[in-house]
Chains A and B, each alone.
Chain A
């Protein structure tokens, strides 16, 4: 499978995917200032860099949180930088100050400074850890600068603990560090650091005294420094690798390494995971942490179960992809999965079974060695504090002990009967053995051993010379005892295993059944409501708790209100729940109970991620008694997948129906408008044409007749324009008009509008004010030209032949067109109304009681809005009105030559 793969021919799909992910331009940059101990000057360096940036780009750097330092040099560097006010948290009578994530999102700076990446937030905040805050900021596209000490890096945690003897509890996942865009190592020679410590620059003097004896020993510091530099170098190496593999597309694709490590319920598994994670980082490889759930491990004692959960969590934290598989034989299934996922190296721990046991039992390592073929195996030593994993065996209950005794008694009785009938001894032994077999089959391992002993005693007492004593003359009988015991325990063990397998396959069957039933029922349900209701009912049964499926109400891409099959959602969920749903929905990540985000909630909320967008959320209520086991949460996620599919299908159906309807109605409306405009225009064209011909050839006409005809022509032209306006506005306000945008110099629009204006109005004069270097605008030229014409027309009608000024201004974000007249102006109370359909200013009514449909300005507003611009009116200095609109700029384009 692996051997026929030729790395030079095929680009690794994972690599392409990784490159794609890296190109996600929307994600913000993360810069980490990395140090090997407190006091090397990370915060100082970060602030210094921020000051430098501030010099070049103004007011873009905001301090989200910097630990209050007593060092005057450091606090001096915060001067001139905007500091976000901290959030105050009241916790157990104390006031804690924390970074205010929401305020930061609102403030929307380009660069955020956040000290101490590994910080643990006060309870009650959205995220448990600061690195999660940082992650959210990055997802919103902010650039984040932060500081980190090496011992807080998860994979380094145990090494640092070994060196210094101090275990640090606050850690960050390695993925955060490795996916950062830039790491700046802040380095200081240990001698200097110690000097600074002694001078009290890092801690107060008595704190420093303690520190010098513990963490801050010279050998410690040198070791930490080396680790830091090496880890940073590893990361730089990965950057170079990824750049290299992206740069050369047809050159040889280096095969990306993928490591696999088997997770077990043993505490040593954790060390193994860390070691594997470090190896993976050094190799620039992905890490898979796989737990094979076998019939044996499915019935673990609670302590091992907890340890397994812990180990899986550690794996996830180390950036490994964790996988739980159902299987029978660990080694075989591991190798099969490894081949499926193109794993190149498997990491396993050293076996600690005594040698005599290894002689009987093939270990997983042995099996892997036999099966792995071209996959490399790495065996790693671990801590010696091995605690053997105990399998929970069905203990001997009083009931089964009683039954065992009864059965043994009955068979002994039968054997006594047989002896009295004169049967040979072999039959007697077989009868007793039958009893043991029966007990073993019925009550399992413990009972079978118990019964073996009982039968040995019975045989000894009743059937061996001397009879009715526990003494034995013939040593042969010892052999019989031994056989009895062996047969009993063997059958007991087999029965036990069989039972376990039955239970396991029943659980698996149930899960499959559940998934199958859910998908079948969901595929039958047609409406959104039906899908939601069905999912909720089924999931509530499976997970034995209340489950809610929530989709945002139509028209809401996020935020409440939410729709659920349960009536009265708001009554059921508090504002905190709603906030949780919103967060999950927006961030596409699970949150709530049992996760690192908003963990104090009593619900676990999973996003329902469709192929194109997020469709809703799945909320699982906490049960009082226990946590959601990992197998259940796996099941929940699988079910969420099935629900998402069904939801997507329903939503897509609805959208298709809606689209089809919209297209149909748009077609008929367009046909109607087209016919209407044709029918109205034809007579107008004829009237205008005829009248203008009469006027221009009218040498024979009297002056009054000529004047009357001219007036007819003008009025008809006005009428024709109003018809155009009406049709334009209908199309604009229907929203059926898609603008045909083009790059065009702003003055082109002006010239065209002025030329058309001149066709209709010989007066008033228009003075044009064009600045030099007007930029291009990206607009539907016809719509904007019409808008400009309408403003000119409006000004001409109200200005009483006083000159009009047309002013263009080039602004930072767009081009502003203003038409200024010396007319009566617009009352303040009417300023916001004049752009509405059929609204005319009261001034206009006094001037032209019969003129004006109030359409022209409405077209302006609608056309500008369609372009994402703005329009308005204000008083002109010295009387009159200034009508204006503003258009966004076109994107920068290459020049003409």
Chain B
């Protein structure tokens, strides 16, 4: 059973009802706001553990609300977006949202996202090993094993892999990866990430039709070991 308070900022009553019923069943408690400004007041007073934010609010552009919310709390913020708001999704992530989920919602998916976002990022500098299923990263030795077999990765691939391993299950935007690995922010160089990722995928994924470690979120970024 999960515990903690989740704040749902969503203007559609039926969807709120659905989310509420479901999350409560999983053990969370819920508070609801149908508008942006009530959402802000509730965040200040209730200090929720997780915020679910619908981008299509009647009173305010959801993307503009994100920086304000993030300024008030460090709680993870998950955006609920419709499929025709895909460009807004990226803008929301760039504005500070931690993750997103697309309508129509898969409820098990939503639960997984919430859990993933609650896993605080642990800088595993002290750890010597980290494993994800059959993938083992030997951090001190800088070696990668897949099903006990060592896999050779380049220095840049290692940097990327290590970075992603710190955020399992979280969406990582291409811009973020570019900045962290290359220290660059130019939009023209985003294909660097994609090319490097394609190479890494060839080394790690065993079945092309069922990816295990590197999941592509087209147009947004990547998710590691979900």
Contact = CB atoms under 8 A, between A and B. Distances in A.
B219 A720 contact: no
Nearest to A759: B106
B209 A754 contact: yes
A748 interface: yes
B108 A752 contact: no
Contacts of B86: 782
B194 A748 contact: yes
B71 interface: no
Contacts of B183: none
Contact of A893 (B108, B191, B201): B191
Interface in A728-773: 731, 740, 742-745, 747-752, 754-755, 758-759, 766-768, 770
Given A689-B22, A742-B190, A748-B197, A724 B83 contact: yes
Contacts of B191: 742-744, 776, 890, 893, 896
A758 B219 CA distance: 19
A717 B103 CA distance: 11
Contacts of A893: 191
Contacts of A742: 190-191, 219
A681 interface: yes
A24 interface: no
Interface string A679-697: 0011111101110110011
A689 B105 CA distance: 6
B2 to A, nearest CB: 15
Interface in B97-122: 103-108
Interface string A531-542: 000000000000
**For the complex, would chain B's binding face be called helix, strand, loop or mixed by DSSP majority?**
helix
B127 interface: no
Residue in B25, B156, B216 with the greatest tally of chain A CB atoms within 10 Å: B216
B218 A897 contact: no
A693 B194 contact: no
Contacts, number: 116
A693 B107 contact: yes
A545 interface: no
Contacts of B15: 682, 685-686, 689
Given A677-B84, A682-B15, A897 B156 contact: yes
Interface in B121-167: 156
A678 B22 contact: no
Nearest to A769: B208
Contacts of B21: 693
Given A688-B104, A751-B208, A754-B209, A677 B82 contact: yes
A744 B192 CA distance: 9
Given A724-B83, A781-B219, A896 B18 contact: no
Nearest to A757: B209
Contacts of B168: none
A673 B14 CA distance: 21
A684 B209 contact: no
Interface residues of A, number: 51
Interface string A713-728: 0000100100010010
Interface string A879-897: 0000000000010010111
A546 B46 CA distance: 85
B101 to A, nearest CB: 11
B105 A751 contact: no
Interface string B14-42: 11011101100100000000000000000
A678 B56 contact: yes
A752 to B, nearest CB: 4
> Which residue, of B17, B156, B195, has the highest number of chain A Cβ atoms within 10 A?
B195
Nearest to B86: A782
A800 interface: no
B208 A896 contact: no
Contacts of B56: 678
A419 interface: no
Contacts of B217: 752
A896 B197 contact: no
A207 B98 CA distance: 91
A686 B210 CA distance: 29
A724 B82 CA distance: 10
A677 B55 CA distance: 14
B45 interface: no
Interface in A841-897: 890, 893, 895-897
A747 B209 CA distance: 11
Contacts of A780: 219
Given A682-B12, A781-B218, A896 B209 contact: no
A686 B14 contact: yes
Contacts of B197: 745, 748
A680 B196 CA distance: 40
A677 B87 CA distance: 16
19 contacts: A677-B82, A681-B82, A686-B17, A689-B22, A690-B18, A692-B108, A693-B107, A696-B107, A724-B83, A747-B201, A750-B208, A751-B201, A755-B211, A770-B208, A776-B194, A781-B218, A781-B219, A893-B191, A896-B191
Interface of B: 12, 14-15, 17-19, 21-22, 25, 56, 82-84, 86-87, 103-108, 156, 190-192, 194-198, 201, 208-211, 215-219
* Nearest 7 pairs of A and B residues by beta carbon: A743-B191, A745-B198, A685-B104, A752-B218, A752-B216, A686-B14, A781-B218
Given A749-B218, A896-B192, 14 more contacts: A681-B104, A684-B104, A686-B15, A689-B18, A692-B106, A693-B21, A717-B104, A742-B219, A745-B197, A759-B106, A768-B208, A768-B209, A776-B194, A890-B191
